[in-house]
Amino acid sequence: LGNVSADSSAPYPSDFAWGAATAAYQVEGAYNTDGRGMSIWDTFSHIPGKTANGDTGDVADDSYHRYEEDIKLAVEMGITHYRMSISWPRIMPNGKLPLNPKGVAFYNDVINTLLAHNIEPFVTLYHWDLPQALANDSAGQSEGDKLFGKGWLEASVADDFVTYAEACFLQFGDRVSNWLTFNEPLTFVNLGYGSGTHAPGRCSGCSLGGDSATEPYIAAHNVLRAHGKAVARYRQLKAMAPSMLDGKIGITLNCDWGEPFTSSKDDEEAATRFLEFQLAWYADPVFFGAYPASMVAAVGDRLPKFTAEEAAQLKGSWDFFGLNHYTSKYVKKPDYPAPLPGMGNSWYADAHTTQTDTSIDGILIGPLGDSSWLHVVPWGFRKMLNWVAERYGNPGIYVTENGCDVPNESKMSLAEALDDKFRVDFYRGYLSNMAEAMKDGVKVKGYFAWSLLDNFEWADGYSKRFGLHYVDYSDNLKRYKKSSAKWYHDYIRANSPGKSHKLRMANPNAG
């Protein structure tokens, strides 16, 4: 594996959060156990043709029943923090009150088990599994409307989300110090309402209905409204019960780094637009209370407007910046005027950029993982972190996801897959660039590897593996340590001057 030594001048503070991440629908399985309701991902993954090999999250890693074993893997790896998500329909089968006591009990068990092992839960409220029942509430005309309702297109879903968030704060908030409202709205909005490749499968021309010119902007708008309201509610509750709730809250946003294809002004502006259309679309409202000017100009009337009250609520609705980052692209200005000819309006056309994987000299930006979108570009991570720090006034940043899949891993023998040198190189490169960014002055407070273990990779089903641990889907879901898990363990140990993060107490009486 090569030598793992402390990144000597890496200024990891003693309370740095070293973690790994998962998400409920990707690992839990037990989709109809103990009163769990259906989510739009259950419905979507059961439609033939929507996922690779027709895979679903019905069983996934069965972490619902095997969470103790998974936490043991986390303990053995030496992480201080575990990022997990709560399944909304597991604790609210109808998307609304009342709560499902068995669902609540499950998350109490997970949280208490983590704390009993000195691992802090870092909890995402929404990692894409909208309760199907809410969708049904608003059923409309098209095939997709009937199946899914309007989901995030419906303004009232923001209020349902706040009810759900409040229930989580009250049930688990005495033991959870860090909350994330949403995971990657860019991804579930663009793929769910722009390209139709994720639930609820909508786009212009999609059989389930949709309108890629308007719906992504409407869905994003409602997600942002929901975020603003949920953060306001958390702060209200915190003020009322400071001894019970004294945590921090934020949102986690994903962004690929955009490196200008040439040093021309056109390409530099295109690269900035590329970053603004991904990250600033969400982060500007959260930090500044307004959409980026480039989007206001390009999207025009199709971009909804915040009321003065909403803008004020959104502005400052963060205690830290949550960032998911995987890869980088070269970006250039297309040689046609916006929008893309023949494509009509869409987020892609509005952004008016072209992405390429090869430089002007014909050199690949970085080795390709198993997924066609994932090139390994460690230096892009350092630039990405610096860009966030500069634009948003150097906030504390948690890198809430970073990781890769390995070319052909799913086709390898078990022994070959466990020897994942490619992934070790990925982490070595990205972590050393994160350390460089910290030396540049970026305030990184924590880092979460995606993922603790192989899991249901959305539309790619089980055909892509991002885990530090291997899950044998052909042999009773047995877990194995990959080389990368051992390497990460050694890296954490070499770079932890001493754990000093504040731990809450497990509460055996909760629930």
Interface residues toward ligand GBH, by CB under 6 A = 23, 183-184, 187, 197, 254, 324, 326, 373, 401, 450, 457, 466
Rounded to the nearest whole angstrom, what is the least distance from the CB of residue 123 to ligand GBH in the complex?
15
| Residue 401 is among the residues annotated as catalytic for this protein | yes
Rounded to the nearest whole angstrom, what is the least distance from the CB of residue 477 to ligand GBH in the complex?
18
Name the catalytic one among 310, 401, 436, 457: 401
CA distance 269 to 248: 35
Nearer to ligand GBH, 184 or 259 (CB): 184
Sign of CA dihedral 124, 438, 451, 197: positive
Calculate the dihedral angle through the C-alpha atoms of 150, 153, 155, 159, rounding to the nearest 10 degrees: 70
Contacts of 27 (CB under 8 A, 6+ apart): 60, 61, 63, 70, 453, 455, 456
CA distance 123 to 127: 10
Rounded to the nearest whole angstrom, what is the least distance from the CB of residue 254 to ligand GBH in the complex?
5
Query: Which of the 8 DSSP states describes residue 329?
Result: E
Nearer to ligand GBH, 25 or 161 (CB): 25
Rounded to the nearest whole angstrom, what is the least distance from the CB of residue 509 to ligand GBH in the complex?
33
Rounded to the nearest whole angstrom, what is the least distance from the CB of residue 87 to ligand GBH in the complex?
13
Name the catalytic one among 120, 154, 166, 184: 184
| Residue 184 is among the residues annotated as catalytic for this protein | yes
Q: What is the DSSP string of 29-81?
A: --TTSTTPPPBHHHHHHTSTTSSGGG--SSSTT-HHHHHHHHHHHHHHHT-SE
CA distance 336 to 346: 15
Nearer to ligand GBH, 154 or 350 (CB): 350
Nearer to ligand GBH, 175 or 273 (CB): 273
Put residue 323 in one of left, alpha, beta given phi > 0 → left and psi -120 to 50 → alpha.
Answer: beta
Nearer to ligand GBH, 100 or 278 (CB): 278
CA distance 27 to 18: 20
Q: Would you please indicate which residues are annotated as catalytic (active-site) residues?
A: 184, 401
